[in-house]
C-alpha cells in the first residue's frame, strides 16, 4: 500500500534533473534551504531594491533642481533683461530656506530617534575636511557681511534683495557648517528616502551657488582689470552706481574681492561631504570595516621634506607679494610674468619627480591593497580626477594659443613650458595619491610596542651599575647602628642627600629612555617609509603654496593677455572661470589626500 502511494507521487524538480546514468533503484537525497534563510534573502533583496529606488528618486530630484537653476543662470547671463540677478537670488533663497528646514528637522528629529545612528563611518568627514568647512564657511560669512555693507552704502541704486539674500546666506552657511561638523560621519538608519532627498536638495543648492559664484567671479576680475564696460554688461548697472571715494566703501569692495574665492571652495567642499553622507544612508558597517588602530599624524621620520617644502613656500610667498604689488599698482610688466612662471617651472618638475619616485616605491612595497568598500575614498578619487581637469584644460588651451602665435618669444616659451609641466605634474600626483589611498595602513601599534621594548632594553644595557649603586647605598645605611642624636641627624641628612641623588638618576634615566626610544624608532623606519613620508610632506607644502597664490588674487593666465587676444575676451573668460576654481579646489583636495598618504605610510 505504501509502495503504491509512493509510486503515485510526482517527482520533484531535483529528481527530474537526475542524470540518466544513475541506477534506477537508487534514491536521490536533496535538502531544501531553510525557510528563514529564504526569508532573510528576500528581505535583503527588497532592502537593496528599496535603497536603489531611493537613490534614483533623490538623484532625479537633484538633477531637476540643478537643471532649473542652470536655466535661470544661463538666462541671466545671455538675457539679463528678462531674467535678472534678483530673480535668481529669489530662487536660491527659496531653495536655501527648504534646505534649512530639512537640516533643522534632521538635527532635532531624525538624528534623535531610537536606533537612528547605529553606525558611524570612520573614513567620512576627516578633521581636515571639517576644518576646511569651518574655515571656508567663516570666510564666506565675512564675505556676505562685506556684501551687505557694500550694498547698504549704495542702497540708492541697489535693490533690497541684495541685502536680504546675503542675510539668508549667512544663516544657511552657519547652519550647514554646524550640521556637517557634527553629523558628517552618520550612517542614518531611519527615514531613508526623506533623508536622501534632503541631502540631494542641499547638494543641488550648493552646486547652484557654486555655479553662480563661478559666473559672477568675472565681475571681480573685471574690477581688477578696470574693464568697466564689461562689468556693466554682466551686472546690468549704470555708470552712476559706483563706490564713493570713502575708506569704508573701498574696504568693503576690496574685502569682497579678496574673500570671493573662498565661497566657491566652501560650496565644493560641502558638496563632497554631503555626497558621502548620501551614500552612507542606510549603510550597515561590519566590524572588519572599523579600524582597530587609527593612525595619527606625527612629525616623525621627516627632515628633508619639511625643509625643502618650507623653502618652496617662502620663495613662493615672495614671488606672490612682488606680483601682487605690481598688479595692484599698475599693469604687470614683462619681468613680473617671467619671475612668476620661472618659479612654477622650477617647482613643478621637483613635484613631478617626487610623485614618480613615490609611485615606484609603492610598487616596490609589499603592502596589500585595501579592497573594502569605502565611499569616501571613491569620492576622493573622483574629485581628484575631476578637479584636475580644470588646470589640464586651461593648459591645453594655452598650448594651442602659444604654438599658433609665437612660441620662440621668452614669455611665450615660459608659458608653454609651464602648461606642459602642469599637465605632467597633475597626472603624476594623481597616480601617487590614488595608489597611496588604496594601500593598507602600516601597523603602527606593533612598531610602537617593538620600539618601546627595544628602547627599554637599550637603556637597561647602558645603565648597568645604577641599581647596584642604589642597593649598596641602602645596604650601607641599614648596616649603620643608631647612636647619639647628632649621629642620627647626620645620618638623616646623608639619607636625604642620597635620596635626592637617586631621584636625579631616575630623572636622567627617563630622559635617556625617551631620547633613545625616539632615535631607535627613527632609525628603524625602513627607507621606503622614510622616502614616502618625505615626499608626501614636501608635496603637501608645495600644494599649499600653489593653492594660496591663485586663491588670493594672482591670475596671470588672464592678465598676460596672450590667450585673451587669441581666443577673445568672452571665450577666455569662460575658460578661466571654469578652470581656475577647479584648480584651486584640486590643490586643496590634494593636500588632504597627501596627508592621508603620509599618515598611512
Q: What does DSSP say about strands 186-188 and 117-120: parallel, antiparallel, or unpaired?
A: antiparallel
Cα-Cα-Cα-Cα dihedral sign, residues 203, 395, 556, 587: positive
Helices (H), 11-34: 13-16
Interval 459-497: pLDDT, tens: 444 444 444 444 444 444 444 455 556 666 666 666 666
- 357, with CB counted inside 10 A (0-12, 13-18, 19+), is middle
Give residue for cell 556684501: 147
Quick one: pLDDT at residue 357? 92
Quick one: pLDDT at residue 52? 83
CA–CA separation, 355 vs 362, rounded Å? 10
Please give the DSSP secondary-structure letter assigned to residue 289: G
Q: Which residue has the higher pLDDT, 63 or 514?
A: 63
pLDDT surpasses 60 at 20: no
Per DSSP, the chain holds a count of helices (H) and strands (E) of 20, 2
Interval 333-342: pLDDT, tens: 778 888 889 9
A 10 A CB-CB count for 580 gives 23
Q: Which residue has the higher pLDDT, 22 or 505?
A: 505
Least confident of 19-28, 367-376, 428-437: 19-28
Quick one: pLDDT at residue 487? 65
For residue 188, the SS3 value is strand
48-52, 151-155, 346-350: range with highest mean pLDDT: 346-350
For residue 279, the SS3 value is helix
Cα-Cα-Cα-Cα dihedral sign, residues 298, 299, 301, 305: positive
Distances (CA, A) of 268 to 57, 214, 330, 499: 23, 12, 33, 63
pLDDT surpasses 70 at 155: yes
Q: Which residue has the higher pLDDT, 542 or 329?
A: 542
pLDDT surpasses 80 at 544: yes
CB 532 within 8 A of CB 601: yes
Cα torsion for 232, 237, 241, 246, to the nearest 10°? -50
Quick one: pLDDT at residue 241? 62
What is the grid cell recorded at 320?
606672490
Quick one: pLDDT at residue 444? 43
Q: Which residue has the higher pLDDT, 552 or 499?
A: 552
- 531-567 burial code (b ≥16 CB/10 A, e <16): bbbbbbbbbbbbbbbbbbbbbebbbbbbbbebbbebb
Give residue for cell 584651486: 584
Residue 120: strand pairing partners: 186
For residue 439, the SS3 value is strand
Q: Tell me the average pLDDT of the chain.
A: 75
Distances (CA, A) of 600 to 72, 277, 360, 464, 529: 45, 24, 17, 38, 9
Quick one: pLDDT at residue 243? 67
Quick one: pLDDT at residue 458? 43
CA–CA separation, 85 vs 93, rounded Å? 12
Residue range 405-419: average pLDDT? 86
Interval 109-140: pLDDT, tens: 888 888 888 878 877 777 878 888 898 899 99
Q: Please report which confidence band the pLDDT of residue 29 belongs to, taking 50, 70 and 90 as the band edges.
A: very low
CA–CA separation, 306 vs 299, rounded Å? 9
Quick one: pLDDT at residue 367? 64
Please give the full DSSP string across 202-214, using - where no structure is assigned: HHHHHHHHHHHHH
Quick one: pLDDT at residue 217? 53
148-162, 335-349, 571-585: range with highest mean pLDDT: 335-349
Quick one: pLDDT at residue 428? 93
Distances (CA, A) of 566 to 165, 441, 563, 570: 38, 49, 5, 11
Interval 214-257: pLDDT, tens: 776 545 444 544 344 444 444 555 445 666 667 787 788 777 77
Residue 439: strand pairing partners: 369
Least confident of 76-90, 169-183, 226-240, 292-306: 226-240
For the chain, the straight-line distance linking the first and the last C-alpha, in angstroms and rounded, comes to 77
Interval 249-293: pLDDT, tens: 778 877 777 787 788 888 888 998 898 888 888 877 765 554 545
Q: Please report which confidence band the pLDDT of residue 73 belongs to, taking 50, 70 and 90 as the band edges.
A: confident
pLDDT surpasses 80 at 372: no
Q: Please report which confidence band the pLDDT of residue 520 belongs to, taking 50, 70 and 90 as the band edges.
A: low
A 10 A CB-CB count for 309 gives 21
CA–CA separation, 544 vs 536, rounded Å? 12
Q: Please report which confidence band the pLDDT of residue 301 belongs to, taking 50, 70 and 90 as the band edges.
A: low
Q: Please report which confidence band the pLDDT of residue 386 belongs to, taking 50, 70 and 90 as the band edges.
A: confident
pLDDT surpasses 60 at 79: yes
Least confident of 39-48, 171-180, 373-382, 424-433: 39-48
Helices (H), 481-568: 485-523, 527-551, 556-559, 562-567
Amino acid at each position: 500500500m505504501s509502495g503504491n502511494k509512493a509510486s503515485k507521487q510526482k517527482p520533484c524538480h531535483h529528481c527530474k534533473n537526475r542524470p540518466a546514468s544513475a541506477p534506477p533503484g537508487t534514491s536521490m537525497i536533496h535538502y531544501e534551504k531553510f525557510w528563514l534563510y529564504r526569508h532573510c534573502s528576500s528581505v535583503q533583496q527588497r532592502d537593496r531594491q528599496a535603497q536603489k529606488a531611493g537613490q534614483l528618486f533623490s538623484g532625479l530630484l537633484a538633477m531637476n533642481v540643478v537643471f532649473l537653476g542652470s536655466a535661470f543662470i544661463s538666462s541671466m547671463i545671455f538675457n539679463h533683461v528678462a531674467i535678472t540677478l534678483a530673480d535668481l537670488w529669489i530662487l536660491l533663497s527659496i531653495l536655501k530656506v527648504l534646505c534649512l528646514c530639512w537640516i533643522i528637522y534632521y538635527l532635532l528629529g531624525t538624528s534623535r530617534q531610537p536606533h537612528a545612528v547605529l553606525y558611524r563611518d570612520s573614513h567620512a568627514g576627516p578633521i581636515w575636511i571639517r576644518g576646511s568647512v569651518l574655515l571656508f564657511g567663516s570666510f564666506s560669512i565675512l564675505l556676505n557681511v562685506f556684501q551687505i555693507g557694500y550694498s547698504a552704502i549704495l542702497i540708492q541704486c541697489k535693490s533690497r534683495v541684495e541685502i536680504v539674500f546675503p542675510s539668508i546666506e549667512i544663516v544657511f552657511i552657519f547652519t550647514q557648517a554646524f550640521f556637517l561638523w557634527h553629523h558628517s560621519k552618520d550612517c542614518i538608519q531611519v527615514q531613508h528616502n526623506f533623508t536622501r532627498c534632503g541631502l540631494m536638495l542641499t547638494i543641488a543648492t550648493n552646486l547652484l551657488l557654486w555655479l553662480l559664484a563661478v559666473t559672477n567671479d568675472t565681475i571681480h576680475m573685471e574690477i581688477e582689470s578696470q574693464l568697466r564696460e564689461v562689468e556693466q554688461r554682466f551686472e546690468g548697472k549704470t555708470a552712476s552706481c559706483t563706490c564713493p571715494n570713502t575708506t569704508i566703501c573701498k574696504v568693503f569692495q576690496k574685502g569682497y574681492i579678496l574673500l570671493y574665492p573662498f565661497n566657491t571652495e566652501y560650496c565644493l567642499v560641502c558638496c563632497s561631504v554631503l555626497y558621502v553622507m548620501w551614500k552612507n544612508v542606510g549603510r550597515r558597517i561590519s566590524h572588519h570595516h572599523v579600524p582597530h588602530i587609527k593612525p595619527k599624524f606625527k612629525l616623525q621620520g621627516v627632515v628633508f621634506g619639511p625643509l625643502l617644502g618650507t623653502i618652496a613656500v617662502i620663495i613662493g610667498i615672495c614671488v606672490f607679494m612682488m606680483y601682487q604689488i605690481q598688479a595692484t599698482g599698475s599693469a604687470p610688466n614683462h619681468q613680473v610674468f617671467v619671475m612668476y612662471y620661472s618659479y612654477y617651472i622650477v617647482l613643478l618638475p621637483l613635484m613631478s619627480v617626487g610623485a614618480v619616485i613615490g609611485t615606484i616605491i609603492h610598487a616596490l612595497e609589499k603592502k596589500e591593497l585595501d579592497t573594502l568598500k569605502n565611499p569616501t575614498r571613491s569620492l576622493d578619487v573622483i574629485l581628484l580626477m575631476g578637479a584636475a581637469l580644470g588646470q589640464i584644460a586651461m593648459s591645453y588651451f594655452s598650448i594651442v594659443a602659444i604654438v599658433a602665435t609665437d612660441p620662440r618669444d621668452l614669455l611665450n616659451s615660459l608659458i608653454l613650458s609651464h602648461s606642459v609641466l602642469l599637465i605632467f605634474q597633475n597626472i603624476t600626483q594623481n597616480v601617487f595619491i590614488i595608489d597611496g589611498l588604496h594601500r593598507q595602513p602600516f601597523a603602527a601599534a606593533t612598531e610602537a610596542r617593538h620600539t618601546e621594548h627595544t628602547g627599554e632594553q637599550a637603556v637597561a644595557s647602558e645603565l648597568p651599575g645604577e641599581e647596584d649603586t642604589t642597593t649598596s647605598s641602602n645596604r650601607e645605611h641599614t648596616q649603620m647602628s643608631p647612636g647619639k642624636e647628632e649621629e642620627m641627624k647626620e645620618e638623616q641628612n646623608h639619607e636625604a642627600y642620597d635620596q635626592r641623588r637617586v631621584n636625579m638618576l631616575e630623572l636622567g634615566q627617563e630622559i635617556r629612555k625617551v631620547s633613545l626610544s625616539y632615535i631607535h624608532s627613527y632609525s628603524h623606519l625602513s627607507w621606503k617609509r622614510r622616502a614616502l613620508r618625505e615626499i608626501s610632506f614636501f608635496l603637501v607644502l608645495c600644494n599649499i603654496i600653489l593653492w594660496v597664490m591663485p586663491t588670493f588674487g594672482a591670475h596671470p593666465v588672464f592678465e598676460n593677455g596672450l590667450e585673451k587676444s587669441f581666443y577673445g575676451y568672452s571665450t577666455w573668460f569662460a575658460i578661466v572661470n571654469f578652470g581656475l576654481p577647479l584648480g584651486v579646489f584640486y590643490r586643496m583636495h590634494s593636500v588632504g589626500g597627501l596627508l592621508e598618504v603620509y599618515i598611512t605610510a
